[in-house]
Structure 1
Amino acid sequence: MSQRIYRDALLSISQQEQRISYDSTHVIDESYRMTMFLRELLYQMKEHVLSNGFTNRSEEIEFFRKIKPQILGKLIYYNKLYRVETSCPVSSGKMQHKYYGGELQQLKQEYKEHICNSDFFRYYRSGRTDLDHEYFELGKINFNGGLNSYVFEIDPLFSTYYDYKVSRIIANELMYAYLLSKITPDHLEAQTNDKDFYWTDSKNALIELIYALYAASSISGGRVSIRKISVVFQVLFRINLGDIHHAYHRMKVRSGSRTTFLDHLKVSMEKYMDKDL
């Protein structure tokens, strides 16, 4: 029962993002409405957990490693997005570009000081799960590790402390991608002269392809960041993909196949091969 509730909660985020993106005329309105929606959703999840608990340790670990961070991470992101956009001094020009650049540098500094140098960050990024019972079970907080003072303010019945860490990682990735898209030239196609060479499928299809190549370490042995790969494809195909991380997280929770375009490529390739038989 709980698994279905958690799955539906993540799906509702994607659906709400789509609805609001269609209705909203400005990112300020979109970010505010998503903040309110996610705040209420997080409250509902808390009420469910406090009332029902977890059926086993595996469910508890999955909730604090995957479910809650997806909700809280998006909440942190949209709240930050709202504050950044409402503080932007102008709507265009060099001053706007400088403003977003400053926000990006500040985000990088916070990331360097508080996230990327920690043992937990390396553990989480490596995909390890052997210490999940220490990081994502209630009542396992190790105060001897010199934790951030935020730990004293959290609800011990609805947080393991490290679920917040994962949420911050998700939020920072989304914010980084958004700010980068704001300072990237709008007309990437100007960097190539071949007007007959361009992407004709959907943006989501290209993003899915980019992430697949990145996940498989098919480019430079996996040593190139997803951001750099996306920039190359955007220049090559003369297309602006915008916030690819946001799109990727929507793909992760969409109904049906999460790899629609890759499935289509496989079927198309097999049909093409069959022509030669």
Structure 2
Amino acid sequence: MTQNAFYKGVLKTIESKEIELNLIDSTSISKAYEMIQFLRLLLIKLKEEILRVGFKNQIDEIDFFKVVKPQVLGKLIFYNKLYKIETSCPIDVVIKNKYYNKHLEELNLEYKKYFAHNEFYKYYNANRTDKDIEYFTLGKTDLLIGINSFIFEIDSLFSTYYDYKIARIIAHDLLQNYLHEKTQEYNTVISSNTLISSTLIWSESQNALIELIYALYISGSINNGKGEIRKISILFQQLFGIKLLDIHHAFHRMKTRAKSKTCYLDKLKEALEQYMDK
């Protein structure tokens, strides 16, 4: 296997890992965290390989710093940002949609500030190659003094500075696509919920609905028993377009009922059995 083929194989391993974690169709906090650890280790191994054997020729060196390393580092930056966004994400669908839109707006401002008028960004987007030796071979960092203090922090044996700039571009594009899909998804959910809640009306008492929610939660009927009571409550409130008061206190008051503690569930059972007997 040639050195170039080896580095291209690294990109295949990332793709395989994403497929294994089903990241193409869905992303979770735990999946993002696992991907961060995977990419960090991969980057360390790549650095060890570069320091050990170097590059066979200038073409391989340019290809590594222009294509291979930015893909690994770019995805690492992306999943790290995604992890931070998702760990602070609210639960309510409407608030969540505003949250994703806010991050999308911040990303668009970042684009205008750092990318839109940047000469290197234009160079990269135009698929130019005339300055590749200057941008993507080691030992050229002395030419960059004065443009960004970050230049003094990079590892001159494993970075040309511009590989990091491409990684940021890749991460920006990935995050923009992710946030755009999320806002589209929750716009659809909100529209659907508005339509459903306008046609479905909860005609029992609030306590009856709280009793049902707790029964589903405690019986493990949702998410194999891993569903949070708050999330289940929010789901029913959105479904029927109503606002439940403090469900925890309401539930504890049910424990002190004089007759049946589960009067609504008893009513459901009786009504269903009568229907079955017809």
TM-score normalised by the chain length of structure 1: 0.64
The residue that corresponds to 2:174 in the other structure is 174
Please provide the CA RMSD for this pair: 2.2
Q: Secondary structure at the match of 1:184?
A: helix
Which segment is superposed worse, 112-121 or 70-79? 112-121
Count of residues in correspondence between the two structures: 188
Compute the displacement of 1:25 (Å). Answer: 8.2
Q: Take 1:20 and 1:83, find their aligned partners in 2: how far apart are those partners?
A: 19
Query: Which amino acid letter does the alignment assign opposite residue 107 of structure 1?
Result: L
Q: Take 2:151 and 2:163, find their aligned partners in 1: how far apart are those partners?
A: 11
| Equivalent residues in 2 for 1:1-277, closer than 5 Å | 1-21=2-22, 27-90=28-91, 92-141=92-141, 143=143, 146-185=146-185, 187=188
Query: Which amino acid letter does the alignment assign opposite residue 166 of structure 2?
Result: V
Query: Which amino acid letter does the alignment assign opposite residue 97 of structure 1?
Result: N
Query: Which amino acid letter does the alignment assign opposite residue 163 of structure 2?
Result: D
Sequence identity, in percent? 45
Q: Take 1:69 and 1:25, find their aligned partners in 2: how far apart are those partners?
A: 23
Does the Cα contact within 8 Å between 2:32 and 2:79 map onto a contact in 1? yes
Q: Take 2:4 and 2:110, find their aligned partners in 1: how far apart are those partners?
A: 34
State the Cα deviation string for residues 114-144 of structure 1 (Å, max 9, x = none): 2222110011111100000110010112555
Residues 12, 47 of structure 1: CA spacing in aligned structure 2 closer, same or farther, 3 A cutoff? same
Residues 85, 149 of structure 1: CA spacing in aligned structure 2 closer, same or farther, 3 A cutoff? same
The residue that corresponds to 1:226 in the other structure is none
Compute the displacement of 1:179 (Å). Answer: 0.3
Q: Take 1:132 and 1:26, find their aligned partners in 2: how far apart are those partners?
A: 35
Compute the displacement of 1:30 (Å). Answer: 1.0
Q: Secondary structure at the match of 1:96?
A: helix
Compute the displacement of 1:7 (Å). Answer: 1.9
Which segment is superposed worse, 101-110 or 169-178? 101-110
Does the Cα contact within 8 Å between 1:103 and 1:179 map onto a contact in 2? yes
Q: Take 2:26 and 2:168, find their aligned partners in 1: how far apart are those partners?
A: 27
Does the Cα contact within 8 Å between 1:135 and 1:141 map onto a contact in 2? no
Long gaps (5+) in structure 2: 192-278
Q: Secondary structure at the match of 1:89?
A: coil
Residues 106, 40 of structure 1: CA spacing in aligned structure 2 closer, same or farther, 3 A cutoff? same
Long gaps (5+) in structure 1: 191-277
Q: Take 2:154 and 2:30, find their aligned partners in 1: how far apart are those partners?
A: 29
Query: Which amino acid letter does the alignment assign opposite residue 79 of structure 1?
Result: N
State the Cα deviation string for residues 56-81 of structure 1 (Å, max 9, x = none): 11110000000100100000000110
Does the Cα contact within 8 Å between 2:145 and 2:151 map onto a contact in 1? no
Q: Take 1:185 and 1:36, find their aligned partners in 2: how far apart are those partners?
A: 28
Which segment is superposed worse, 49-58 or 13-22? 13-22
Instruction: List structure 1 runs of 4+ shifted beyond 2 angstroms.
Output: 141-148, 185-188
Q: Take 2:128 and 2:179, find their aligned partners in 1: how far apart are those partners?
A: 29
Q: Secondary structure at the match of 2:22?
A: helix
Compute the displacement of 1:89 (Å). Answer: 2.2
TM-score normalised by the chain length of structure 2: 0.64
Q: Take 2:148 and 2:86, find their aligned partners in 1: how far apart are those partners?
A: 28
Compute the displacement of 1:146 (Å). Answer: 3.6
Query: Which amino acid letter does the alignment assign opposite residue 184 of structure 2?
Result: T
Does the Cα contact within 8 Å between 2:144 and 2:151 map onto a contact in 1? no
Q: Take 2:107 and 2:146, find their aligned partners in 1: how far apart are those partners?
A: 23
Q: Take 2:26 and 2:121, find their aligned partners in 1: how far apart are those partners?
A: 37
Residues 37, 166 of structure 1: CA spacing in aligned structure 2 closer, same or farther, 3 A cutoff? same
Does the Cα contact within 8 Å between 2:139 and 2:160 map onto a contact in 1? yes
